[in-house]
Amino acid sequence: MQASELTPDQIQQLFTFTTKHCVRHYDLQVELVDHLADAVAAKMNDTETPISFDDALQKIYAGFGVMGFSPIITSRQQAVLKYSNREKWRLLKQYFTWPKAALTMLLVTVFATLPQMMTIFWLKVVLVTCSAIFFAWEITEIVKVYKAYRLQTQKLLLTENSYWAPGFGVLVIDIFSMFHGWDWFDTGAAFSLNTFYTYSGICILFFICSLALVGFTKKLHLLARQQYPAAFKIAG
Amino acid sequence: MAFIVAALSQPTAQKTKKNIPNLIMHRLLIYICGMQKSSLYKGCLEPIVLRLLKDNGRMYGYSITQKVKEITKGELQITEGALYPLLHKLEAEGIVETTVENVGNRMRKYYTLTKAGTQQTQAAMEELKAFMESLNRIINPKTTIA
């Protein structure tokens, strides 16, 4: 069945139909509308007795069963979740395999050798500075994602749960508080080499996780823009 | 297999030593013939879809349903409620990948096998073949022995 058999108005009606039947995400709508359009066009042409667009649509929809589009919506949500988790783990694992493992090793080596090169005071300065840079970088990534979100005009299942992902790294502020970072420069505040190693180790881990999550969000948005350009407005 | 056990344990016929194997086969065939075709094909849907994608390159949802209908001369009709969840599952597992293209006045999502998907298809075909041979041994024990 040729795609041009239904008019643009009828295609629009199909989009409205899917929305009415609880399909609110554009990426899933696109797939269902294409299927319905083909099936409806075939029904309208194949039947010996004339059949209207609406009747054909109702007959085709009845073929989806009593649950309608629900099983498809659920399966798509589960599939996106599964894909997202798989992709996040894959990206994270890259930082423990060559060549990206070099970055992890470099960070660990630098922080492991720092205590041999400077005093406790300067170790505190390094930790506070690195935490502040990490936090600032996280904020810029969140702003970038927010801007990307603003460009999206249609809801996409593919990107729906990815907006929170780069926000993970801001938790570094909680870790900083847990280690009483605000009191490190007070006279008499406890700060040992153990504190330095533990805090820097956690920060490196958080940083690597954040890099993976930011990479995941960027990849997902690139994929969404390539596959569904109509769901985004052009950046001005 | 509970349904087969249930079908076999109907207490209507006389269960003598002689006619028990025939009775079992008779009940089994009656049960299978009485089933909806879709139920019989249900477990085979994934190998069918994988094989179609392997043979035809890239396909979209509606074309898969039509291809199956065409090959089986209308005997088997894949429902949308079964097809799309399967396609989404295969996509999430990295067995198929998708591309979206403009087709006339709308967009169309195409599915293609990935490298892992091609290997999976091979394995699924072998599994299906083994299953069909087992089924054949049950339905035609004499033929298999010969």
Tens digit of each residue's pLDDT (9 = 90 or more) over B90-132? 999 999 999 999 998 899 999 999 999 999 999 989 988 898 8
Mean pLDDT, range A58-75, rounded to an integer: 92
Pairwise CB contact (< 8 Å): A30 & B88? no
Q: Which of A179, A185, A184, A182 is nearest to A199 (CA)?
A: A179
Q: In this complex, is the C-beta atom of A229 within 8 Å of any C-beta atom belonging to chain B?
A: no
Pairwise CB contact (< 8 Å): A30 & B106? yes
Pairwise CB contact (< 8 Å): A34 & B80? no
B72 pLDDT above the threshold of 90:
no
pLDDT at B145: 53
Contact list, B85 vs chain A (CB under 8 Å):
71-72, 74-75
Q: Which of A151, A167, A145, A150 is nearest to A220 (CA)?
A: A145
ipTM over 0.90: no
pLDDT at A51: 87
Q: Which of B37, B25, B32, B22 is nearest to B74 (CA)?
A: B37
Mean pLDDT of chain A: 89
Give the separation between CA A73 and CA A64, rounded to whole angstroms: 12
Q: Which residues pair with B102 in a beta bridge?
A: B107
Tens digit of each residue's pLDDT (9 = 90 or more) over B23-40? 555 554 444 444 455 566
Q: In this complex, is the C-beta atom of A219 within 8 Å of any C-beta atom belonging to chain B?
A: no
A156 pLDDT above the threshold of 60:
yes
A39 pLDDT above the threshold of 90:
yes
Of A1, A3, A71, the CB nearest to B105: A3
Between chain A and chain B, the number of residue pairs with CB atoms below 8 A apart is 79
Mean pLDDT, range A145-157, rounded to an integer: 89
